[in-house]
Amino acid sequence: MHEIKAPITAARLICRNLDGDTRRKLNAELAQIEANIERALFYARAENPEQDCLFRHVDLGKIASQAIENHRSLLIQSGIRVEAENLNDTVYTDEKWVVFILGQLLQNAARYRGSEPVIILSTKPLGKQIQLVVQDNGIGIPAHELPRVFDRGFTGSNGRSRGGSTGMGLYLCKRLASFLDLDLRIVSQEGEGTTVTLTFPAKENLTKV
């Protein structure tokens, strides 16, 4: 991992000597390269997630902060305002996998943003379960494509028109969510935005513990 990221870090240092607009554009491209590398590495690890898994109590606020920090350059370049509401709950899960899932959702919100983009992260109780909700005001997903968004390699009309989509992000999210006993659901209205809900079960209902 270090050998892969070292040249990117060096490129970022070089970017500091460039003018503002060029620097921002190059940093955005470097952020996309990093995201693709991360996705490829997690894809390999996701083949056998049970070999790289540690369930423990983790704070959703910490998870959200880490995911936002990991994609800070992309969010800034995209002009996105991120709002966090009531992220005070603790869940029993694997922290790194959930950070990855949330990071993929942030990337999608950035890629398919609308004007004056906003992402709202919030939690709410559902009995003994906790729901993490990621809501954006982006371009939304056509209704006829929603049943396929978790299919491997599916990019959809938005992915084809905007470019940069691999069709692997949501596929990996769904695969990892299933492993973690999380319920992952998406609702979307074309032209209005998308809401993704991750439901964390109570510890006693986990099948992996």
| Closest alpha carbon to 106 in 192, 177, 35 | 35
Print pLDDT tens along the chain (209 aa). Answer: 546 666 667 777 777 777 777 777 777 777 767 767 776 776 666 667 777 788 999 999 999 999 999 888 889 889 999 999 889 999 999 999 999 999 999 999 999 999 999 999 999 999 999 999 999 999 999 999 999 999 998 888 887 877 667 788 899 999 999 999 999 999 999 999 999 999 999 878 787 65
Residue 169 in contact with residue 143, Cβ under 8 Å?
no
* Ordered domains of the chain (ranges, CATH): 55-205 (3.30.565.10)
Tokens of 128: 């003994």
Max alpha carbon distance in the chain (Å)?
A: 55
> How confident is the model at residue 42, as a pLDDT?
65
Tokens of 95: 């922290």
> How confident is the model at residue 209, as a pLDDT?
58
Residue 41 in contact with residue 16, Cβ under 8 Å?
no
Residue 97 makes CB contacts below 8 A (sequence gap 6+) with: 49, 53, 176, 179, 180
